[in-house]
């Protein structure tokens, strides 16, 4: 009797268990890497600047927002470039990953119809590709920090690691959910564009958190309401660590940026809450995906 | 031995919507009122496939055989029931599925193989073999969008067969490509069989089933109507293809599963001898020479209803000729008990060069009962003394006129 290439047993039913599904995804982890590589290669094939485009994007954003907010509107935040980039980095990752993941199953319909692999992989690959862009754009930020000899907060920088993990989890969960829904209701993709636009302005990226939070406090509303937006919690960690100013002084005016009395514990608490929400969302997304997946090959 | 593929009670329902509503607006407008028909592509399929077995799935278009294959592959999920597979599984449903036109052949090999579940280390180890098999050494670093369709298919097949699956699922892909490629595919399938791998394949080609399968299943409108030896399955398949005559053979017998031929061991083939003018002096006959196929049989008791049949195939398994005493209206007197002989004498064998295989069968006149069956165990060699080429020698006269 010959040796089998693998002893793994696969059971195909209408509803595979969550554990079994996660094991399958793990088994196919190399495929995620390969799909990410493909996506990046194809994206910049035949383009002269290639990966530079990934870095150019935040640089151009920066220029636009700088002109609008600093010169035209005069928000007065010092080192606005650093402030903006630390939040924009998070947002760029989140929005590109989510749009990519949402369209992933539909875009790869020829694969889905012909080859078996856990389909969640497609959404994960879209998230993975955005993560690569995230790091490329991170280089822009690091270069900016070095150029300005900007002092970050080494302590809070440690929080970036869990913040990134939570962000990944949240994005992947939402991406998997939307990817499966988009197969049935193609509007999801278009709706998402609008939602993302609104979501961007609801997140303190181009304006400072305190600008809104202080108004909430003034009316006696809880500022925790603002944290209902999970991306806010993550953006705040990045701003605290990299921008590293709770209040900024611009001439005689003091501009409040981040919560004054919040320590590392507050940021960590926020991350844990988002992490917990992401886990529940992830479970729900996987369940929905598995339910809808049964008819993917027919719907596409 | 434990089975490697286990299909338990599998049914698959497709919803056929009368209109397709993909957008939110349409979904909302028609919410809950989208008219559809249920269509059961598979109904209560049970199937176990042993390691090293080659199983053919036969059926007319729409019988559900491809759906079953896709369920086994995991591309479709059964509505009820479950399928268990052990070991690595590769499905040749469409060659080159997942190739990205913008990537080079090399990059696509890695991508495609990892889609099929191979690790990078394994792919690297087999890379040269894959490229050699596809005969694409010179083009492997070109983008796939510049490939011809033949190159595309060759590369897809090369990747799929070189991933050394334990279970190979094949869906009619052997029908694509030119002749030499088909032969190559078939050679690979045979090698897989020798290696003891399990193969499930879907085909319309009854001859192919006879040629390479250990067992075959016949599907008809989602039901498995036969699971047995290839010869039996092919017979049932042919019956089901003829509408109206499907069950005519045994009127009053309700159970479809019993419609297969019965076995009767009272009569068996003892030996077969092929004789031609060169017998004893050369191992081949010349085109146009006569051939006699002598079948000696042994009957344990007196058997009344007997028909002797013969079929000739070429080396690729193509059925070239088939007949039997019933078709030829040759009366066969009751035989046995004791030995007997039947001789099929062909006045001239018109084939040109090649090796030809002979299948012999002894059945009842209605072929409902098989006494003995000798599938392609005997062969003869033909040599063409002339310079004519092709498959058969056709006597021809040539007249040229005009020109002046």
Pair (B175, B278) in one structural domain: no
**Residue scoring higher pLDDT (A256 or A124):** A124
Q: Which residues 155-174 on chain A approach chain B with CB closer than 8 angstroms?
A: none
Same domain for B208 and B69: yes
**Interchain pair B100, A5: CB under 8 A:** no
DSSP A168-227: HHHHHHHHHHHHHHHHH-THHHHHHHHHHHHHHHHSTTSS-HHHHHHHHHHTT--GGGGG
What confidence score (pLDDT) does residue B21 get? Answer: 62
The alpha carbons of chain B give a radius of gyration, in whole angstroms, of 26
Domain that holds residue B213: 5-87+166-220
Q: Which of A6-15, A218-227, A267-276 has the lowest mean pLDDT?
A: A6-15
Query: Bigger pLDDT: A281 or B370?
Result: A281
Position A13 in a domain: no
Inter-residue contact A30 to B120 (CB < 8 Å):
yes
Instruction: Indicate the number of domains in chain A.
Output: 1
List of chain A residues whose C-beta atoms are within 8 Å of the C-beta of residue B88 = 4-6, 8
pLDDT category at A271 given cuts 50, 70, 90 is: very high
> Which one, of B37, B31, B103, B126, lies nearest residue A5 by Cα?
B126
**Nearest-by-CA chain A residue for B169:** A115
Whether chain B has a CB inside 8 Å of the CB on A14: the answer is: yes
Closest C-alpha among B226, B225, B199, B197 to residue B211: B199
In a domain, B75, yes or no: yes
For residue B123, give the chain A residue with the closest CA: A30
Residue A216: give the domain boundaries: 18-299
Q: For residue A127, give the nearest of A175, A197, A179 by alpha carbon.
A: A175
- What confidence score (pLDDT) does residue B330 get? 87
One domain, residues B327 and B188: no
ipTM of this complex prediction, to 2 decimal places: 0.72
Q: Which residues of A53-76 are buried (b: 16+ CB within 10 A; e: fewer)?
A: ebbebbeebbeebeeebbeeeebe
pLDDT band at A73 (very low <50, low <70, confident <90, very high): confident
pLDDT of residue B238: 66
Cβ distance B76 to A38 less than 8 Å, yes or no, reads no
SS3 string, B5-63, reads EEEEEEEEEEEEECCCCCCHHHHHHCCCCCCEEEEEEEEEEEEEECCCCEEEEEECCCC
Q: How far apart are CA B376 and CA B252, in angstroms?
A: 35
Query: What's the domain count of chain B?
Result: 2
Same domain, B192 and B321: no
Which residue's structure tokens are 């194809």? A42
Torsion of CA B276, B279, B284, B289, to 10 degrees: -20
Residue B328 neighbours by CB under 8 Å, 6+ apart = none
pLDDT, position B257:
37
Closest Cα in chain A, distance from residue B21 (Å): 8
The answer to whether B393 and B350 have CB atoms below 8 angstroms apart is: yes
Beta-carbon contacts of A228 under 8 Å, excluding residues fewer than 6 positions away, are none
Q: What angle do CA A160, A162, A166 make, to 5 degrees?
A: 110
Q: State how beta strands B80-86 and A9-12 pair.
A: antiparallel
Mutate to test the interface with B, among A3, A110, A115, A185 (most CBs of B within 10 A): A115
What per-residue confidence (pLDDT) applies to B245?
34
pLDDT, mean of residues A41-68? 79
pLDDT tens digits, A24-36: 888 888 888 888 9
Query: Same domain for B81 and B210?
Result: yes
Neighbouring C-beta atoms of residue A295, cutoff 10 Å: 17
- Is B106 inside a domain boundary? no
Q: What is the pLDDT of residues A134-190, one digit of tens each?
A: 998 898 889 888 888 888 888 899 999 999 999 999 999 999 999 999 988 888 888
Partner-chain contact B115 A117, CB within 8 Å: yes
Domain membership of residue B132 (yes or no) is no
Residue A5 confidence class, pLDDT cut points 50, 70, 90: low
Residues B285 and B216 in one domain: no
**What CATH number should be reported for the domain holding residue B80?**
3.40.50.300
Closest CA to B78 of A12, A24, A180: A12
Q: Is the C-alpha dihedral spanning B156, B161, B162, B165 positive or negative?
A: positive
3-state helix, strand, coil in chain B (%, to 5): 25, 35, 40
- Evaluate if residue A37 carries a pLDDT over 90: no
Q: Which residues of chain B have pLDDT under 50?
A: 242-260
Confirm whether A6 is domain-assigned: no
Q: Are residues B372 and B308 in the same domain?
A: yes
For B155, which DSSP code?
Answer: H
Nearest CA in chain B to A43: B102
B positions 195-234 inside 8 Å of A (CB): 195-197
Residue A12 lies in a domain: no
What is the pLDDT at residue A163?
A: 95
Q: At residue A233, does pLDDT exceed 90?
A: yes
Phi, psi dihedral angles at B295 (to 5 degrees): -115, 115
Confidence of residue A280 (pLDDT cuts 50, 70, 90): very high
Interface test with A, best of B87, B113, B197 (most A CBs within 10 A): B87
Q: Quick one: which of B6, B7, B86, B84 has its CA closest to B44?
A: B7
Per-residue pLDDT at A285 exceeds 70: yes
């Amino acid at each position: 009797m010959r040796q089998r290439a693998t002893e793994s047993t696969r059971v195909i039913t209408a509803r595979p268990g969550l554990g079994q599904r996660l094991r399958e995804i793990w088994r196919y982890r190399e495929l995620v890497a390969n799909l990410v590589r493909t996506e990046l290669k194809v994206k910049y094939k035949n383009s002269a600047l290639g990966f530079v485009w990934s870095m150019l994007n935040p640089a151009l954003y920066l220029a636009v927002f700088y002109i609008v907010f600093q010169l035209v509107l005069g928000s007065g935040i010092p080192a606005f470039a650093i402030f903006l980039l630390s939040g924009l980095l998070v947002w760029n990752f989140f929005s590109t990953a989510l749009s990519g993941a949402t369209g992933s199953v539909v875009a790869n319909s020829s694969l889905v119809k012909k080859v078996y692999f856990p389909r969640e992989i497609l959404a994960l690959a879209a998230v993975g590709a955005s993560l690569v862009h995230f790091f490329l754009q991170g280089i822009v930020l690091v270069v900016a920090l070095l150029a300005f000899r900007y002092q970050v907060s080494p302590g809070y920088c440690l929080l970036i690691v869990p913040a990134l993990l939570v962000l990944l989890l949240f994005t992947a969960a939402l991406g998997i959910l939307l990817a499966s829904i988009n197969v049935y209701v193609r509007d999801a993709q278009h709706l998402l564009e609008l939602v993302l636009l609104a979501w961007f302005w609801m997140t303190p990226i181009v304006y400072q958190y305190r600008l809104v939070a202080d108004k909430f406090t003034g009316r006696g509303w809880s500022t925790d309401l603002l944290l209902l937006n999970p991306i806010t919690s993550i953006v705040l960690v990045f701003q605290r660590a990299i921008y590293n100013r709770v209040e900024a002084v611009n001439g005689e005016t003091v501009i409040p940026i981040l919560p004054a009395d919040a320590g590392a514990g507050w940021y960590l608490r926020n991350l844990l809450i988002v992490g917990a929400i992401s886990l529940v969302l992830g479970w729900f997304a996987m369940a929905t995906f598995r339910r809808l997946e049964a008819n993917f090959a027919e719907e596409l | 031995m434990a089975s490697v593929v286990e299909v338990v009670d599998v049914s698959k329902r497709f919803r056929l919507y009368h209109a397709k509503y993909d957008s939110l607006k349409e979904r909302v407008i028609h919410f809950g009122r989208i008219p559809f028909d249920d269509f059961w592509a598979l109904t209560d399929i049970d199937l176990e496939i042993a390691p090293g077995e080659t199983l053919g799935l036969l059926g007319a278009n729409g019988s559900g055989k491809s759906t079953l294959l896709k369920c086994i592959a995991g591309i479709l999920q059964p509505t009820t029931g479950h399928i268990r597979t052990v070991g690595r599984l590769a499905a040749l449903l469409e060659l080159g599925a997942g190739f990205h036109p913008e990537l080079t052949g090399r990059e696509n090999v890695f991508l495609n193989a990892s889609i099929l579940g191979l690790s990078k280390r394994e792919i690297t180890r087999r890379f040269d073999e894959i490229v050699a098999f596809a005969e694409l050494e010179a083009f492997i670093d070109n983008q796939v969008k510049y490939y011809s369709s033949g190159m595309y298919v060759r590369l897809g097949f090369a990747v799929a067969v070189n991933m050394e699956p334990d279970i190979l699922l094949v869906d009619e892909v052997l029908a694509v490509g030119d002749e030499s490629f088909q032969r190559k595919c078939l050679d690979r399938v045979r090698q897989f069989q020798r290696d003891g791998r399990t193969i499930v394949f879907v085909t319309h080609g009854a001859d192919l089933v006879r040629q390479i399968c250990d067992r075959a299943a016949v599907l008809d409108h989602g039901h498995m109507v036969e699971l047995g030896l290839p010869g039996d399955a092919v017979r049932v398949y042919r019956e089901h293809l003829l509408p109206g005559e499907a069950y005519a053979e045994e009127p009053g017998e309700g159970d479809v599963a019993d419609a297969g031929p019965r076995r009767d061991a009272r009569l068996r083939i003892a030996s077969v001898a092929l004789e031609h003018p060169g017998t004893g002096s050369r191992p081949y006959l010349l085109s146009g020479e006569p051939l006699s196929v002598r079948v000696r049989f042994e009957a344990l008791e007196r058997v009344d209803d007997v028909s002797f049949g013969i079929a000739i195939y070429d080396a690729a398994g193509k059925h070239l000729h088939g007949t039997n005493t019933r078709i030829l209206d040759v009366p066969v007197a009751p035989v046995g008990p004791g030995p007997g002989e039947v001789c099929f004498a062909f006045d001239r064998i018109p084939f040109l060069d090649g090796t030809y295989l002979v299948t012999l069968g002894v059945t009842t006149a209605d072929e409902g009962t098989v006494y003995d069956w000798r599938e392609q165990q005997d062969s003869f060699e033909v040599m063409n003394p002339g310079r004519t080429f092709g498959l058969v020698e056709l006597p021809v006269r040539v007249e040229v006129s005009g020109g002046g």
